[in-house]
Amino acid sequence: MQIIPTIFEKEFLEAERRIKLVKDLTTWMQIDVIDGKFLSGKTFELELLTRVEGIEKNLLDIHLMVENPIKWINKCLFTQASRIIGSVEAIDDRDEFVKMAKDTGMEVGLGFDIDTEIDEKIPKETDVILLMARKAGFGNYKFDERVYKRIERLVKIKKDMDLDFLIGVDGGIKPSVVDELRKAKVDIIYCGKYFMEIVNAIN
């Protein structure tokens, strides 16, 4: 199971500080993006990532919680992202989003908020399905154990449809739930402030 730190900040200087703390401890890094339209609040301008010294050594996973994620593909390319994940609630045509992102050479994923029904409309080329374990966006939300049933459903869909995507979970994850997530067949854990504790717990 892979542990990927998340950077979820309104101000660039704080994002830069957190990036510098973890960039040498990980291969992948997720940058969370909110545009203030799809969800309230707004994160720092994505293009500013190019100012962070040494970040080009990391593989960037951009989680787009924005209106019409397809319009952000070029911005993600500018930051040399390796993977983008779009919120399904904001995507009109999943096949088009996946194809356009894949055509750039990036990996592509679909993200489902905690209350969004998980359906079988998953394009075959999808690399990652990201399940939120709490409500997406800014706010002090706790880990929601409903996510375990949602993982179970996704594992079944993956098997029944003979798909090959990775299963990621993000939101409120503490070291105490890591073993259960592993047993549930989660491939990637995305985590913020508990990143170091979780890494130390599994090593």
Q: What are the pLDDT digits (tens) for 59-108?
A: 999 999 999 999 999 999 999 999 999 999 999 999 999 999 999 999 99
- Distance between CA atoms of residues 138 and 125, nearest Å: 30
In a domain, 66, yes or no: yes
Of 135, 176, 179, 168, the residue nearest 6 (C-alpha): 168
In a domain, 203, yes or no: no
Tell me, what CATH number does 33's domain have?
3.20.20.70
Query: In terms of residue numbers, what domain contains 17?
Result: 2-198
pTM: 0.94
Give the three-state DSSP class for 178.
helix
Residue 203: what pLDDT? 61
- Residue numbers in the chain where pLDDT is lower than 50: none
Residue 198: what pLDDT? 82
- Distance between CA atoms of residues 174 and 60, nearest Å: 22
**Number of independent structural domains in the chain:** 1
Residue 141: what pLDDT? 85
